[in-house]
Amino acid sequence: MNKLTILFLFIFSLNLHALELVQSKGEIQINAPIDKVFDLVSSPMNDHLWRSEVNDMTTNNEEVIVGSWYREDAWIGIRKNFITTTEVVSINAPYNVTFITPKESPFYLKSRRFFEHQNGITTFKYIVDFDRKMIKETFGLNVSPKIVMKLYSFQMKRYLKKLKKILEH
């Protein structure tokens, strides 16, 4: 084999294992102090209050600190019990917290939650990056990420509005 063929095969094999991420994001302004918003939203143990797909959540630590993990059981697509475990990899209270799936997870997911406060209003920004292969796993077929993101952005808007309602009342 010549060097060009070997190089082509090497690059091709890297692409087979490349992670293709899909990103969804949303944000909402909440008329509440940043600490109140952060306290509720930084802990996935509260996600069932505002994220309608969450069936159950368990953790190894009630405190949100680096190293804490959260096991989410959620109804996503056709999967009534899709299990995802994430771990806190960074936290800067009350401004941001980041969760990532452990290396041994079948799928990659990163959840970032950002908080800013100005003039009595807290802006909560929620960004989720996930492995495109999760789409096939949760919907049963390889749906276009654009279609999934349209559906998920509608869902995200709904639960951000629910979060706002909870925190403002």
pLDDT in tens, 21-43: 999 999 999 999 999 999 999 99
pLDDT in tens, 50-66: 999 999 999 999 899 99
Instruction: For residue 127, give the nearest of 46, 5, 27 by alpha carbon.
Output: 27
Predicted TM-score (pTM) of this structure: 0.86
**Is pLDDT larger for residue 152 or for residue 57?**
57
Using pLDDT thresholds of 50, 70 and 90, give the confidence band for residue 7: very low
Q: What domains, with CATH codes, occur in the chain?
A: 28-168 (3.30.530.20)
Give CA separation, 3 vs 6, 9, 14, 16, 17, in Å: 5, 10, 17, 20, 22
Average pLDDT of the residues in 126-137: 92
pLDDT band of 149, cuts 50, 70, 90: confident
Contacts with 138 (C-beta within 8 Å, 6 or more apart), sequence order: 76, 77, 78, 79, 82
15 falls in which pLDDT band (50, 70, 90)? very low
pLDDT at 145 over 90: no
Query: What percent of the chain clears pLDDT 70, i.e. is strictly above it?
Result: 89
Q: At a CB cut-off of 8 Å and minimum separation 6, what does 9 contact?
A: none
Rounded average pLDDT over 83-92: 98
Query: What is the average pLDDT value for the chain, to the nearest integer?
Result: 90
* 141 band by pLDDT with thresholds 50, 70 and 90: confident
